Amino acid sequence: MRALPPLALAFHGVSDVPLRRDPQGLFVSPDELRRHLTRLREWDYRLVTFGELASLASRRRADAHAALTFDDGLVDNLETLVPLLREEDAPATVFVVSAWLGEPYPPAEWTRIVTRDELRELARSVEIGAHSTRHADLSALTYEDARRDLEECKRALEDAVGPVETAAYPFGRANEETIRACRDAGFAAACRISGEGSWDAPHSLPRQDMLNCSSAVGLRLKRSDLYEPLMRFPPARAARRASRMLRALAR
């Protein structure tokens, strides 16, 4: 039987938000997240933090391991995600935008990012990673500017919670200079999204996007890294749009 491939899932907020209020699909409901956890365990995945997954990958021992990651540092990660993780006995990693602490969340200003004190509390339950200072596209910056941004983010987070060893590129975008800047900024590993990257590249590891109402079929395709290739075909994209429209109407 073929071994389960490594899997890192990229979420954002954990809140029951209707799709009509969440056009970017950034919020997954607690019930949805529990269903995803159940599926992973039914498939016999062992859940680890992203840092642990990256370390296992560097030793070619990451098969059958999965990591739940959450980008930006939303306050619901503390208020809703942490209790859920405790109930499910599951680890997770939250990648935080350091200069957004305590600010309204730009894609959904009706919620906000954790404060510095809340970040410390969050760090007691999850691994904290870096997600840049202000969520700029680091691949559009020079090597020097990208490194400066990542170093500043790392410094700010470590001042609050201690060592921060992992990073996630904003929008998942990274080129050779971005990756070099991340490595030189002192991170042990970093990740992208949309299945881009390689499990053989510690500073360009792949994650799969998990959006509002992501389906069981979609998760299975992402597990095998088939979802993004499939979405290159117009009929598949049309079917996805239709499914999302129906779900939005139902909610």
Q: How far is CA 106 from CA 90, 92, 99, in A?
A: 28, 23, 12
Q: Evaluate whether 8 touches 168 at the Cβ level (below 8 Å).
A: no
How would you classify residue 58: left for phi > 0, otherwise alpha for psi between -120 and 50, otherwise beta? Answer: alpha
Structure tokens at 80: 């809703």
pLDDT band at 3 (very low <50, low <70, confident <90, very high): confident
Three-state helix/strand/coil letters over the chain: CCCCCCEEEEECEECCCCHHHCCCCCEECHHHHHHHHHHHHHCCCEEECHHHHHHHHHCCCCCCEEEEEEEECECHHHHHHHHHHHHHCCCCEEEECHHHCCCEECCEEEEEECCHHHHHHHHCCCEEEECCCCCCCHHHCCHHHHHHHHHHHHHHHHHHHCCCCEEECHHHCCCHHHHHHHHHCCCCEEECCCCCCCCCCCCCECCEECCCCCCHHHHHHHHCCCHHHHCCCHHHHHHHHHHHHHHHHHC
Show Cβ contacts of residue 2 under 8 Å, excluding neighbours closer than 6 positions.
Answer: none
Query: Can you tell me the mean pLDDT for 231-246?
Result: 47
Residues in a beta bridge with 96: 72, 130
Helix axes 143-161, 176-184, angle to 10 degrees: 40
pLDDT at 71: 98
Q: What is the pLDDT of residue 234?
A: 53
The topology under which CATH files domain 7-250 is: TIM Barrel (3.20.20)
Q: What is the pLDDT of residue 229?
A: 60
Q: What is the mean pLDDT of the chain?
A: 91
Q: Can you give the pTM of this predicted structure?
A: 0.91
Mind listing the pLDDT tens digit for each residue in 60-112?
Answer: 999 999 999 999 999 999 999 999 999 999 999 999 999 999 999 999 999 99
Residue 231 has pLDDT above 50, yes or no: no
How many C-beta atoms lie closer than 10 Å to residue 173's C-beta? 16
Query: What is the pLDDT, as a whole number, of residue 236?
Result: 41
Provide mean pLDDT across the span 129-141: 98
